[in-house]
Each structure stands twice: as C-alpha cells, then as structure tokens.
Amino acid sequence: MKILVCISNVPDTTTKITFTNDNTEFNTSGVQYIVNPYDEIALSRAIELTEGGKGTVTVINVGEAGNDPTIRKALAIGADDAVRVNAAPRDAYFVAKQIAEYAKDKDFNIILTGRESIDYNGNQVAAMVGEFLDIPSVSIIKKLDVDGDTATIEREIEGGKEVLTVSGKFIASCAEGVAEPKIPNMRGIMSARTKPLAVVDAVAIEEVTKVTKYETPAPRGTVKLIPADQTESLIGLLHSEAKVI
Amino acid sequence: MSVLVYVEQAEGKFKKSVFEAVSYAKAIADQQSTNLTAISIGDVADSELKELGKYGASKVLNVSADQLKTFVNQAYASVIAAAAEKEGADIVVLSNSFSGKGLAPRIAVKLKAGLADGAVELPSTDGKFSVKKTAFSGKAFAITELTSANKVIALNPNAFGVKENATDAAIAAFTADVKQSDLGTVIKEIVRATDKVSLPDAELVVSAGRGLKGPENWGMIEELAGLLGAATACSKPVSDADWRPHSEHVGQTGIAISPNLYIAIGISGAIQHLAGVSSSKVIVVINKDPEAPFFKVADYGIVGDAFEVVPKLIEALKAHKA
C-alpha cells in the first residue's frame, strides 16, 4: 500500500496573528512553524496503516526551501520519503494542482490530508486534488479502516456521522479521531536527516483567487461583570440588553 | 449570467442554514441584477421546495435520480456544476456545512472557479469581486478577490441571517448524466442524534472546560443547554481526556462556530480556544479565576465557582421562563 500525505507548514497554534504592509501580508516575524496539526493526524494514521512492512508513506509539501525543517519533522514522525514542490503556495487551487500533477502517475492507493490548514482554513485541497485526479474524495473524516482494496470511513455530518465505503483509489481529509498524533522519537529524528527529500518544479496554472487584505476581529468592549449571587440579572441582561434569549 | 445556490436537504427537509444560504445568494443576485436558481438533490416534497421561494429563489431545479438519494460527494458536485453550466450561472453559492466543504472545491475545479469558503459577508461591489472570509482559525479575516470568471462561495452558518424575500418558485425537474466513476463512495449508515441541537448550526451554545473536573459533572451543563435550546460544546483538554466526544471540541484544532450566544463555563480561554469562538455575537464567561484570559474577550462575566453559579443560573432561567 502506497500512501501520500499532504502537509502544510503553518504558524504554531499559539501564534498571535498580525499583519504588515498595510495589512496585506502576514507578519512572519518571530513566528514558529509547525506541521499543520490535522496533517499530523493524517500522517499518523498513514504510518499506522503501513507499519510492519505493509506499505510506504510519502509526504508532499508545496512550498519554498524554508519549509524543509517542517518536512523533516514529518520524516521524523515516520514518513519514508518526502517531496517538496518548489513554489510559494499561492492558494488551494494552485497547491491542489501541484499535488495532483505529482501524484497522477505515481500509483498511490490512498492520499490523505488534514481537514484544513490552520492558517487559511480552506478544507479545499483534498476535494480539489480528488477532482483533478478524478477519484473519490471524502472530507472531514473521523475514522479510517482499510481492508484490502476497500476502505471504511466515518465522516462527520451536522449532529451525527455517516459511515461509507470506498473501493480503489481515493483521497480523504482527516479530523480528530482518525489517529492520535505521533511524537517523533530520537531514532526518528536521527533517521529523518538522511531520508530522501526530493525537490520538484511547479507547473503553471491560472490564478483564480488573490488575498488583497487582512482584517483582525473588532475588539469587544469591556466585560460587564455580574456578582455570582445575581445570576437572575445575567438572564435579564441576555434577554433585554443582548436580546439573545 | 445568474446565481445558482445548492440547497442541501437532510431527510427531505431544509435547515435554517439552507434558507440563510438562499437569502445570501438572493442578495448577490440582486447585486448582479440577475435571478436566483436553487438546486436540490434527493427526495424533497414540492411543498418543501416551494419554501425556497420565500427567500428569493425564483426557480428550483429538483434532482431526484435514484442513485443520488443519499450524498455522493463526487456525483453531487458533477450535477451541480452541470446545472451551473446549463443555467449559465457564473456564481455558485453553498452553505459551508460538512457536505458543502466537500462539494465546493470539486465544483470550483470543474468550473475553473475561484472559491471563497467560510464567507462572512456579501461580496464587495467596488469593481473587484472580493469576499471576506475567516482565516487563521478565527484569529483574522482574509479579503479574498475571486479573479476567475466563475466564482464559488461557501457561506458560514449564522454569518448572514435568514432574510425573507417572497418570490414564487417555479419547480423544474433536472437531470444530468452521472458517470459510474462518480459513484465510488457508498453510504452504509447515517447516524443522526435527533434530540440534540447540532453544534455548527446552533444559535446558542453552552460550553464547558476542565473546570468541571470530570465527565460526571456534565449533567448541569446539559440541563442548562436543554433549557436554552442550546448545543453543548467543550474545550480541547476535555475532548482529549474523552470526557466529551471530539465533535464537541471548539477551538483552533476543533471546529469554529459563530453562535448568537456562547456561554463558556470553566474554560480559561487559551488563544487556541478563543480562535474558534471569537466570532460569537455575545460571549458569557463563568470562571472562578478573575484573571482568566477569557474575561478579556467576554461581553458578560461571572467570577465564581461553576458548581455554585450554574445551578443558580438554571434556577434563574427556570424562573425567567415561568
């Protein structure tokens, strides 16, 4: 079984998000980058599914050379090899096209991503790759089991879940529940240095979106504190002032 | 040129988030001085389809092929894209629901369209077609210009609201060829908790964190939520410890929500948690630590022990309802 896992290089979850250049660029100063947490879940499941000689896991990232430490982290967690498509990731459409171009003649049985990247929160790449490759895509999965050529998947829906099967090649985006994220051990970290990391060129594709500006949420006013023994006045405020109940 | 909105049905009914997507799509159609067509896939009665007219859909395409009775991501995307082409729709709108998140990217690729997902406002009309969408897990918004001729927009639930715009909806059957390769996924089972409010759609949410000390103490949270008609949610440490299911985890690595009211009980308010709830319209925080960071982003707060405050709040709410 050959599995391809798509990983994003994203700001650490504790990052305070600010912008520069008249709010047109993300301020990268002092930002620590990590493997997107959802992609780590996807990678961890891929490793579980291929453990004990049952297959191989390749990770792919679309980005510039600065992403290599993040890719090495994925190798340390346990991927066998890595590919970086050497281009700034313009938008999900661009990234998905690059991944599809790489994967189209490589015969991967399964392609996994995280449910979304924690920077642009698109949840677009998996389904776009599925469309470019004309294979089924399943978004936001909670569970993945593979038996021969058939996978059984649980997908989240509003207020519940859907259980479905898919035969043959597919791509899925993974959410919490698919696997516990694996933490690299010392052996993993040492071997990651020498595992193959191929760099390939990007293909051209038309531009369809462009971020022109960022905004941060408007600050809220000062909190109105209510004494703990006057819960009825909170109910009153929510009813008559905030008008939400 | 026209606008097409996909209306997702669940067991033959449309939810509020669908009427909201129709209202939003109608406002875009008005901006563009064109008509709004809706497309429904699956078994939906004409009386329910007619409801879409209330929010501005002048035409409803009804797809009821046997093989499309339950959700098949790939096939649904093909049918919606085919309808957009046939209707000459250059803007496709969907709700940013779990299924919508699977469909929108595929439709975008089929139509070579830019996709704005998690949209929170109407597109700008200053010459550029730009949509404000959530980014950095709620820590920011990205104004995203869709530079392609065709455009796909997935609207966040609770971002626009339901707006009535009475139109008489003409219902027409619609068929599109579905390739066998589009039917690769087969649904075996659908489990839906019908007695609970679904978290992503909820207008009111009661959420609790580690301050509750253990899963056995969630009775009062559920009672409070039940009285309010609210959904229940939790913080990451709580779902990590299996006190509550992952589907309840809101925050940067869980789900982002934007209810009208978010009540946080025993949650300190780490930056990752705040990211997922900061677009809530009103935030109430109950925490015994007056220094808890959550108070800084709250509208109303009570400094006190959850085990004392919540039962009192339940009593006060019962009195208010009586």
Which residues does chain A have within 8 Å of residue B20's beta carbon, measured at their own beta carbons?
none
Model confidence pLDDT, tens digit, residues B304-322: 999 999 999 999 999 999 8
By percentage, how much of chain A surpasses pLDDT 90?
94
3-class secondary-structure state, position A109:
coil
* A223 Cβ contact partners less than 8 Å away, ≥ 6 residues apart: B285, B295, B296, B298, B299, B300, B301
CB contact under 8 A, A176 and B299: no
pLDDT at B195 over 80: no
> Any chain B CB within 8 A of the CB of A93?
yes
CB contact under 8 A, B301 and A207: no
Of A119, A127, A207, the CB nearest to B106: A127
Model confidence pLDDT, tens digit, residues B10-40: 999 999 999 999 999 999 999 999 999 999 9
Name residue B13's beta-bridge partners.
B10
pLDDT at B196 over 80: no
Say if pTM beats, i.e. exceeds, 0.90.
yes
Q: Which two tokens stand for residue A147?
A: 């038996």
By percentage, how much of chain A surpasses pLDDT 70?
100
Which residues does chain A have within 8 Å of residue B298's beta carbon, measured at their own beta carbons?
220, 223
pLDDT at B194 over 80: no
Q: Which of B99, B101, B130, B203 to mutate to test the interface with A (most CBs of A within 10 A)?
A: B101
Q: Scan residues 243-302 of B and list those with Cβ closer than 8 Å to A.
A: 246-247, 249, 252-254, 256, 260-261, 271-272, 278-279, 281-285, 295-302
Amino acid at B21: A
* B211 Cβ contact partners less than 8 Å away, ≥ 6 residues apart: B265, B266, B267, B268, B287, B288, B306
Q: What is the pLDDT of residue B191?
A: 92
Cβ atoms B185, B72 nearer than 8 A: yes
Model confidence pLDDT, tens digit, residues B41-77: 999 999 999 999 999 999 999 999 999 999 999 999 9
- Mean per-residue pLDDT of chain A: 96
Bridge pairing between strands A2-6 and A56-63: parallel
Element (H, E) at A125: helix A125-133
The distance of B31 to chain A (nearest Cα, Å) reads 20
CB contact under 8 A, B102 and A139: yes
Among B179, B185, B169, B151, residue whose Cα is nearest residue B14: B169
Which residues does chain B have within 8 Å of residue A238's beta carbon, measured at their own beta carbons?
261, 282, 284, 300
Q: Scan residues 122-141 of B and list those with Cβ closer than 8 Å to A.
A: 128, 130, 132, 134-141
Total H helices, total E strands in chain A:
6, 15
Q: What is the pLDDT of residue A152?
A: 98
Q: Chain A: residue nearest B302 by CA? A: A226
Q: Scan residues 55-94 of B and list those with Cβ closer than 8 Å to A.
A: 71, 73-74, 77
> Any chain B CB within 8 A of the CB of A152?
yes
Model confidence pLDDT, tens digit, residues A110-142: 999 999 999 888 899 999 999 999 999 999 999
- Mean per-residue pLDDT of chain B: 95
* B236 Cβ contact partners less than 8 Å away, ≥ 6 residues apart: B249, B251, B253, B254, B272, B273
For B54-68, letters b (16+ CB in 10 Å) and e give: bbbbbbbbbbeeeeb
Model confidence pLDDT, tens digit, residues B229-259: 999 999 999 999 999 999 999 998 888 999 9
CB contact under 8 A, B102 and A138: yes
Model confidence pLDDT, tens digit, residues A2-44: 999 999 999 999 999 999 999 999 999 999 999 999 999 999 9
For B22-43, letters b (16+ CB in 10 Å) and e give: bbbbbbbbeebebbbbbbbbbe
Residue B276 CA, chain-centre distance (Å), reads: 13
Band of the pLDDT at B161, cuts 50, 70, 90? very high
Which residues does chain A have within 8 Å of residue B309's beta carbon, measured at their own beta carbons?
228, 231
3-class secondary-structure state, position B190:
strand
Of B135, B147, B197, the CB nearest to A119: B135
Element (H, E) at A20: strand A19-20
Which residues does chain B have within 8 Å of residue A124's beta carbon, measured at their own beta carbons?
104-105, 108, 115, 117
Model confidence pLDDT, tens digit, residues A148-207: 999 999 999 998 999 999 999 999 999 999 999 999 999 999 999 999 999 999 999 999
Q: What is the pLDDT of residue B94?
A: 98
Cβ atoms A92, B152 nearer than 8 A: no
Which residues does chain B have within 8 Å of residue A156's beta carbon, measured at their own beta carbons?
98, 247
Q: Scan residues 176-195 of A and list those with Cβ closer than 8 Å to B.
A: 176-177
CA–CA distance, A188 with B215 (Å, rounded to integer): 36
| Strand spans (E) along chain B | 2-7, 9-10, 13-14, 36-41, 59-63, 89-95, 114-119, 130-135, 140-146, 151-155, 170-173, 185-192, 204-208, 231-234, 261-265, 282-287, 300-303
Q: Which of B9, B71, B73 to mutate to test the interface with A (most CBs of A within 10 A)?
A: B73
